């Protein structure tokens, strides 16, 4: 398949898969697979305890050009229902906003409400610049119109936003003595951990859930993500894995025949005729990827697919089985398969085309997918095609700015108070920190969880291992607060 | 005196006084007071061991606007005469360039050569952007022409420059395993400590000499600098201190008389007639300030002045004594007193007008000087008058970005491997870290030293307390390197 299509696939992954709440299932019309908590997060049902505010934020913290002084309205939410107040130095839990509307993150990360109720905490959720209602230049159309206005969109600026906003808010609340703890998931988890690393004077600790901070440069093997997807399927069923693995060349073979695409359209029950076999393969791959990444209880997406593949009547062809797999859940009568159209209005695409360069790729036979190596030249060309010739990804910037290589020695000697939480079924966990680095920079992971599971609202039906993970996190947070309070001069 | 003149005084201080090597004495034609090491630094006599290179540096690390990708030639010097090489993981000592030509810093900081010879280190000196030969946009005239080109001139950009350059250089030298230690004095010392705080994955430790990182916001009393100058003079001689303290109103009194300025010009032997008494007072104040700040052995500027003041024949008037004081060293036959003309071509002035907002000031009777409180509005207006209406100082940025409040608890819980060295006769020491913060974030100071003394080339004539200070620093550096080597996997 052509380089451009390979790259489309990568962008597709990048676009959809680094958030705690996937917007993918609705997009592919498979709403039946969306769990209740996901739906509520997507619809952002927030109680009246969550109050919206706007902060007059500095556009450019690091330069002093005339435009640097421009300000924009940054949205943040506050829930003070549980707060013990400034006088008691009660903590502040801040969600370091990720690549979506902050209302979605607030609705999703219900664990924060539990933390607030346990520790009498104030809840603060800050929206990331250029997302949701926090877009500079007063309108998305202007902000995304060209790279002169879009160019202030970076993770370092976002972190400085958080530092400035938190510092000001604490002053306004006379809460200078209240300890702040950063919390985030996925990209928001990276930001939470980076925030603790870069602004230890602003936050005393960070809970970074499913944060693949090591998936940059060559720290993590390029095929890490796909190898975990593969493992998830293979551990669920060896035959399911084999069937999927064989299906790609089968698709190629059928597609090469006369009426091949029409046959594929029929086998896979697509709503519209397929334009290319690539289109189908992208759809299947993204389905497997999302199934693995969001395979959190009470859902069991991977099993659903594999049960359908393995359970098809004897004699069913490989493609017939795979089609049963993607039909597994209660979906609509047909699959709506779109070509992914990269848009210069997409914020996450901008971030991946500038600094969040995660080198996804895979070789021959090292996953259940066909080979698709990472190619920086192609990546760059595609980004320039979308955003303009000046936009050149900086693949080494994240590790230069935040580190990553030799993480154990660097964080071990320097950092403190960070929880890196993961579920090992999450393909992104491969780029996470999975080893304790010191007494207070710790890895808390589960074998059975997937992406951002611990951040969700605790439910009575939660399995014991999830309850245990959250309990451990609560105990660690309690120890940070106790240490902070013990060291504070009593005044 | 008018607000504008008060501010001129502040700018004068800012402009001259935050470097290890003062350019002040030559400017005031008092070359006789410049010590040998100072002269050699000003003339930048570097041996052929120092080789000059240029790095193609990114103009804007934090944004992705079309202009952000512009690059400029950043000068750096390398001295590899002592280096043990990459194979032996020999260390790299890097001078984090300050507000001057890097050749001057390299010539001044001779202690680094000692460190290199002791530890088989590579010496690297990186010039700060917008100084010396490291000016973007190919020419000073263009770079300083307006705030659109000047606006990329900030400490955070400079630190990112250092991170990128060091990371690349290590790769090119296959020296990834070589530990790097940052060293700097005065503003360069702030940068060294901030670099260790923000880029612990790039440098394993920092020696920050005379770095007033706490002289921001209201952490240090505004009058801190002047109160140390006052203390230096008062401890040298109570009568000297009293004479100086009384002289200001005497000057005002004489100036108010008919022919007062002409009389003052005569008393103080100025080369040209004085335009105002303020001009004289600025000259005197800056002389006292510099005498205190650079009162490093073998010089003894403060004593020289006080001996002359106290030693004037009995019956000499207060102004006559003060005039003897400033005549003390072998100077030219007359004092050349300039009005300080703030220039928009001055890099340090730009930095003080944007982010390095040190709130110098003093009240009535709290120093040996007349009152001159810090006034942010006036400060801002003056900066806008020099650089244009958009340039608004950000007085809280440094503490937001690098911290400062509650430094003991923040650094104690987070940082490691920083030496804050000071000489307590240095007026800037008041804004330095003077207490051990943890086992490896330590304060190493001398009672008798002044600004940046430890960084100078060691001399046989150095007093024991200075030798002891440097020995302590060497031992600490040795412990960092030993710890680093012990933790490295042997491969």
In tens, the pLDDT along B344-373 reads: 999 999 999 999 999 999 999 999 999 999
Asked if B30 contacts B91 with a C-beta cutoff of 8 angstroms, the reply is no
Question: CA angle A284-A290-A294, nearest 5°?
Answer: 155
- Say whether B151 and A68 touch across the interface (CB within 8 A): yes
In the predicted structure, residue B2 carries a pLDDT above the cut 50: no
pLDDT above 70: percentage of residues in chain B: 90
Best probe of the A interface among B400, B410, B479, by most A CBs < 10 A, is B400
Q: Identify the closest residue of chain A to B406 by CA–CA distance.
A: A201
Mind telling me how many Å the CA of A481 is from chain B's nearest CA?
Answer: 13
Best probe of the B interface among A413, A481, A486, by most B CBs < 10 A, is A413
Q: Which residues in B lie closer than 8 A to residue A349 (C-beta atoms)?
A: none
Q: pLDDT for A233-286, tens place per residue?
A: 999 999 999 999 999 999 999 999 999 999 999 999 999 999 999 999 999 999
Q: Identify the closest residue of chain B to A480 by CA–CA distance.
A: B413
Asked if B201 contacts A406 with a C-beta cutoff of 8 angstroms, the reply is yes
Q: Which residues in A lie closer than 8 A to residue B198 (C-beta atoms)?
A: 198
Q: Which residues in A lie closer than 8 A to residue B395 (C-beta atoms)?
A: none
**B76 beta partners:** B53, B126
Mean pLDDT computed over B420-449: 97
- Say whether A405 and B201 touch across the interface (CB within 8 A): yes
For residue B490, what pLDDT is reported?
A: 54
Whole-angstrom distance, CA of residue B293 vs CA of residue B329: 17
Mind telling me how many Å the CA of B390 is from chain A's nearest CA?
Answer: 6
> Which among B64, B150, B157 has CB closest to A154?
B64
- Say whether B157 and A69 touch across the interface (CB within 8 A): no
Whole-angstrom distance, CA of residue A233 vs CA of residue A306: 7
For chain A positions 256-275, those within 8 Å of chain B (CB to CB) are none
Lowest mean pLDDT among A64-68, A202-206, B341-345, B370-374: B341-345
Best probe of the B interface among A206, A394, A400, by most B CBs < 10 A, is A400
- Say whether A64 and B391 touch across the interface (CB within 8 A): yes
For residue B20, what pLDDT is reported?
A: 83
In the predicted structure, residue A490 carries a pLDDT above the cut 90: no
Whole-angstrom distance, CA of residue B304 vs CA of residue A488: 47
Closest C-alpha to A48, from A79, A20, A70: A79
Q: Identify the closest residue of chain A to B404 by CA–CA distance.
A: A201
Q: Which residues in A lie closer than 8 A to residue B417 (C-beta atoms)?
A: 413
- Say whether B390 and A66 touch across the interface (CB within 8 A): yes
Helix H or strand E segment including A246: helix A238-256
- Say whether A415 and B417 touch across the interface (CB within 8 A): no
Whole-angstrom distance, CA of residue A369 vs CA of residue B142: 54
Cβ atoms within 10 Å of A343's Cβ, excluding its own: 12
Q: Identify the closest residue of chain B to A150 by CA–CA distance.
A: B65
For chain A positions 197-236, those within 8 Å of chain B (CB to CB) are 198-202, 204
For chain B positions 24-63, those within 8 Å of chain A (CB to CB) are 60-63
Q: pLDDT for A84-99, tens place per residue?
A: 999 999 999 999 999 9
For chain B positions 378-437, those within 8 Å of chain A (CB to CB) are 388, 390-392, 396-397, 400-406, 409-410, 412-417
Q: pLDDT for B187-233, tens place per residue?
A: 999 999 999 999 999 999 999 999 999 999 999 999 999 999 999 99
pLDDT above 90: percentage of residues in chain A: 85
Lowest mean pLDDT among A244-248, B220-224, B317-321, B328-332: B328-332
Mean pLDDT computed over B388-400: 97
- Say whether B65 and A152 touch across the interface (CB within 8 A): yes
Kindly list the distances between the CA atom of residue A364 and the CA atoms of A152, A371, A373, A375, A432, in Å, as whole numbers in the listed order: 39, 5, 9, 15, 25
Q: What is the mean pLDDT of chain A?
A: 91
User: How big is chain B by its Cα radius of gyration, in Å?
Assistant: 23
The confidence band for B329, taking pLDDT boundaries of 50, 70 and 90, is low
Q: Which residues in A lie closer than 8 A to residue B153 (C-beta atoms)?
A: 64
> In sequence order, what are the residues at sequence separation of 6 or more whose Cβ sits closer than 8 angstroms to the Cβ of residue B171?
none
- Say whether B201 and A150 touch across the interface (CB within 8 A): no
Whole-angstrom distance, CA of residue B390 vs CA of residue A204: 35
CB proximity B64 to A under 8 Å: yes
- Say whether A396 and B488 touch across the interface (CB within 8 A): no
Q: Which residues in A lie closer than 8 A to residue B354 (C-beta atoms)?
A: 64
The pair of three-digit structure tokens given for residue B109, joined into one six-digit string = 């900081």
> Which among B65, B157, B488 has CB closest to A151?
B65
The confidence band for B491, taking pLDDT boundaries of 50, 70 and 90, is very low
Mean pLDDT computed over B309-338: 88
Catalytic residue numbers of A read: 186, 426, 451
Q: What string of DSSP letters covers B363-432?
A: -TTSSSSPPB---HHHHHHHHHHHH-TT----TTHHHHHH-BTBHHHHHHHH--SEEEEEETTSGGGGGS
> Which among B63, B202, B402 has CB closest to A60?
B63
Q: pLDDT for A285-305, tens place per residue?
A: 999 999 999 999 999 999 999
- Say whether A390 and B66 touch across the interface (CB within 8 A): yes
Q: Which residues in B lie closer than 8 A to residue A483 (C-beta atoms)?
A: 413
Q: pLDDT for A374-431, tens place per residue?
A: 999 999 999 999 999 999 999 999 999 999 998 888 888 889 999 999 999 999 999 9
Kindly list the distances between the CA atom of residue B316 and the CA atoms of A390, B243, B312, in Å, as whole numbers in the listed order: 72, 11, 6
> In sequence order, what are the residues at sequence separation of 6 or more whose Cβ sits closer than 8 angstroms to the Cβ of residue A129?
A57, A72, A74, A135, A136, A152, A153, A157, A158, A161
Mean pLDDT computed over A193-211: 97
Q: Looking up tokens 């997807």, which residue turns up?
A: A229
Whole-angstrom distance, CA of residue B62 vs CA of residue A153: 9
The whole-angstrom distance between residue A430's C-alpha and the CA centroid of its chain comes to 13
Q: What string of DSSP letters covers A174-230?
A: T-TTS-EEEEEETHHHHHHHHHHHH-TTT-SEEEEES--TT-STTSS-TTHHHHHHH
For residue A264, what pLDDT is reported?
A: 97
Question: CA angle A373-A374-A375, nearest 5°?
Answer: 110
Lowest mean pLDDT among A295-309, B41-55, B251-265: B41-55
- Say whether B63 and A392 touch across the interface (CB within 8 A): no
The confidence band for B9, taking pLDDT boundaries of 50, 70 and 90, is very low
Q: Which residues in A lie closer than 8 A to residue B157 (C-beta atoms)?
A: 62-63
Whole-angstrom distance, CA of residue A31 vs CA of residue A24: 9
Give the relative orientation of helices A238-256 and A301-311 as an angle to the nearest 10 degrees: 70
For residue A27, what pLDDT is reported?
A: 30
**A71 beta partners:** A58
- Say whether A63 and B64 touch across the interface (CB within 8 A): no
Helix H or strand E segment including B81: none
Mean pLDDT computed over B136-151: 97
- Say whether B416 and A414 touch across the interface (CB within 8 A): yes
> Which among B68, B201, B355 has CB closest to A403?
B201
Mind telling me how many Å the CA of B404 is from chain A's nearest CA?
Answer: 8
Best probe of the B interface among A55, A64, A158, A171, by most B CBs < 10 A, is A64
Cβ atoms within 10 Å of B375's Cβ, excluding its own: 16
Q: pLDDT for A131-153, tens place per residue?
A: 999 999 999 999 999 999 999 99
Whole-angstrom distance, CA of residue B116 vs CA of residue B107: 14
Mind telling me how many Å the CA of B192 is from chain A's nearest CA?
Answer: 15
Catalytic residue numbers of B read: 186, 426, 451
Best probe of the B interface among A60, A62, A437, by most B CBs < 10 A, is A62
Q: Which residues in B lie closer than 8 A to residue A417 (C-beta atoms)?
A: 413
Cβ atoms within 10 Å of A323's Cβ, excluding its own: 22
Mind telling me how many Å the CA of B64 is from chain A's nearest CA?
Answer: 4
What is the dihedral sign for C-alpha B309, B310, B311, B317? Answer: positive
Q: Which residues in A lie closer than 8 A to residue B388 (C-beta atoms)?
A: 66
């Amino acid at each position: 398949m052509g380089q451009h299509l390979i790259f489309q696939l990568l962008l597709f992954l990048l676009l959809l898969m680094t958030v705690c709440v996937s917007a993918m299932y609705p997009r592919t019309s498979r709403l039946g697979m969306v769990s209740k908590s996901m739906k509520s997060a997507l619809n952002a049902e927030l109680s009246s305890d969550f109050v919206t505010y706007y902060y007059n934020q500095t556009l450019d913290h690091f330069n002093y050009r005339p435009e640097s002084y421009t300000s924009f309205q940054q949205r943040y939410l506050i829930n003070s229902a549980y707060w013990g107040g400034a006088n008691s130095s009660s903590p502040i839990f801040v969600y370091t906003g990720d690549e979506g509307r902050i209302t979605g993150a607030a609705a999703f990360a219900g664990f924060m409400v539990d933390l607030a109720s346990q520790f009498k905490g104030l809840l603060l959720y800050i929206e990331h610049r250029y997302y949701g209602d926090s877009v500079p230049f007063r309108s998305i159309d202007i902000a995304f119109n060209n790279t002169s206005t879009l160019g202030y969109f970076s993770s370092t600026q976002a972190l400085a936003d958080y530092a400035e906003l938190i510092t000001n808010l604490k002053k306004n609340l006379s809460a200078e003595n209240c300890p702040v703890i950063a919390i985030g998931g996925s990209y928001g988890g990276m930001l939470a951990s980076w925030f603790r690393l870069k602004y230890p004077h602003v936050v005393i600790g960070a809970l970074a859930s499913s944060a693949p901070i090591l998936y940059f440069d060559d720290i993590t093997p390029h095929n890490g993500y796909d190898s975990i997807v593969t493992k998830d399927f293979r551990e669920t069923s060896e035959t399911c894995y084999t069937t999927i693995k064989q299906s790609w060349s089968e698709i190629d073979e059928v597609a090469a025949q006369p009426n091949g695409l029409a046959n594929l359209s029929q086998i896979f029950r697509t709503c519209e005729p397929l334009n290319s076999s690539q289109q189908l393969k992208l759809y299947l791959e993204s389905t497997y990827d999302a199934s693995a990444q969001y395979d959190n209880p009470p859902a069991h997406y991977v099993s659903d697919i594999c049960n359908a593949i393995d359970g098809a009547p004897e004699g069913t062809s490989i493609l017939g089985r795979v089609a049963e797999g993607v039909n597994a859940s209660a979906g609509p009568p047909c699959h709506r398969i779109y070509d992914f159209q990269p848009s210069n209005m997409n914020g996450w695409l901008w971030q991946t085309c500038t600094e969040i360069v995660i080198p996804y790729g895979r070789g021959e036979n090292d996953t259940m997918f066909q080979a698709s190596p990472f190619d920086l030249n192609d990546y760059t060309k595609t980004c320039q095609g979308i955003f303009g010739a000046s936009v050149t990804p900086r693949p080494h910037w994240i590790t230069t700015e935040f580190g990553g290589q030799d993480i154990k020695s660097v964080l071990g000697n320097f950092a403190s108070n960070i929880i890196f939480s993961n579920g090992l079924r999450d393909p992104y966990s491969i780029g996470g920190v999975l080893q304790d680095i010191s007494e207070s920079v710790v890895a808390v992971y589960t074998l059975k969880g997937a992406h951002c599971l611990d951040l969700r609202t605790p439910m009575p039906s939660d399995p014991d291992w999830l309850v245990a993970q959250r309990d451990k996190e609560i105990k660690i947070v309690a120890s940070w607060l106790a240490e902070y309070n013990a060291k504070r001069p009593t005044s």
